[in-house]
Amino acid sequence: METSHSIEAAKHILVVFGIILAVGSFTGLLARFAKIPDVVLFLLVGMLLGPAALGWVNISADSAINQLILIFGSCYILFDGGASLRLKVLKEVWVTIVIIATIGVLITTAITGVVAQYVLGVPMIVALLLAATIASTDPATLVPVFRQVKIKDRVAQTVMSESAFNDAMGAIVTFTILGIAMGQGEFSLGSTLFDLGWQSGLGILAGGVLGYLAALLIAHERFDFLLEYAPLVTLMAVVGAYMGADGLHASGFMAVFVFGIVLGNKEMFGFSMEHEEEKKLEEYVLTTALIMRMFIFILLGSQVNFELMNQYLVGGVVVVTLFMLVARPATVFLCALPDRRAKWSLKEMLFMCWTRETGVIPGALAGMLVGMKAPGADIIASVTFIAILMTIIIQATTTKWLAGKLGLLEE
């Protein structure tokens, strides 16, 4: 009987996966035809396929299969984003990236927390917990957007790098505030900075070492005996980088991002691949990243809790609007202006103000807070859903238009 139940569950998951692949493929073509980022349509289609509408896709947010897709999918998309970055460009803007990914998260949290307390009428500690949850940007959304919309290199790479590096800071701040809210600790700037340095440093180290080893095994003149298996090497290394860093209590997302940067810039380390093998690997990575986007955002859309979201709809929309139009611009200008080396123009900073989608990582944090029965968890989950929908639907769809108006599109 137990075996029969397992088989039926497996069949159900296979049917759901088939639906996601079939509908996702059609949706991807539609997005290309409409010239809008595919993650927007994936999210909307997921809402249509979910239990609240057609009921074709019904995978619980706290199920093991959902967590597997979210973790591995986000890792692979992040690896893809890292591989598209160029170190020579990052050298110009690294100061901005470091400041905005650390101090910037604190600025966003503080401003949004004050707004949330005033608008929603919740205690300050709950408001700050909400603000910290949605403060980090989402690489799983931004990387695909910049894959499809060609923006001036240093702007695109700054925004993508920020989204990769600020996840660790967002998680640290969120759980520090949670500890205070549940009476398990108090805020310590020194402890927070130490945790951030530890998670970031080990994540960078793990990603760098695995990236170099992967490049050695697929692109070295003498030791490239895994050249034909380069796609499989990327899969193994992405899993290894995330799990290795996580096992050391470091940032797994940081590790896979740095792994992607090292592998994508392997020429700078003296490695090179034959053109055909390089092309084959690139096509594999792009296809795999597309499949991961389909699964992540269709599932994310299907799990939107409309009943919970409607409880705090008006207040949530106001908070997210001010979050987008006040907290983010203040963060960008305060963090980018001191970087005299980068010499950011007003148009570049305005674009960075607008481009900061909320997605998988804040959604996962909100889900964890609900599971831990954190103070105000229902309000936090509701506003997080609203932030995900508003930022992806409004900001992602207008990225190309705004870049064109500001003269930041690459031909």
Domain-embedded: residue 334? yes
Coil/strand/helix, residue 151: strand
Domain-embedded: residue 160? yes
Domain that holds residue 199: 70-405
Domain-embedded: residue 92? yes
What's the number of domains the chain is made of? Answer: 1
Tell me, what's the pLDDT at 251? 73
Tell me, what's the pLDDT at 330? 92
Cα separation, 82 vs 257, in Å, equals 5
Domain-embedded: residue 3? no
Partners of 151 in the β-ladder: 409
Tell me, what's the pLDDT at 318? 92
CA angle at residue 50 from 49 to 52, to 5 degrees?
Answer: 120
Domain-embedded: residue 338? yes
Coil/strand/helix, residue 44: helix
Tell me, what's the pLDDT at 185? 55
Domain-embedded: residue 346? yes
Domain-embedded: residue 34? no
Domain-embedded: residue 328? yes
Listed as ranges, residues in the chain with pLDDT below 50 are 1
Tens digit of pLDDT for each residue in 340-360? 887 888 988 999 888 887 877
- We report the CATH number of the domain holding residue 284 as 1.20.1530.20
pTM of the model: 0.76
Cα separation, 106 vs 128, in Å, equals 10
Cα separation, 213 vs 236, in Å, equals 12
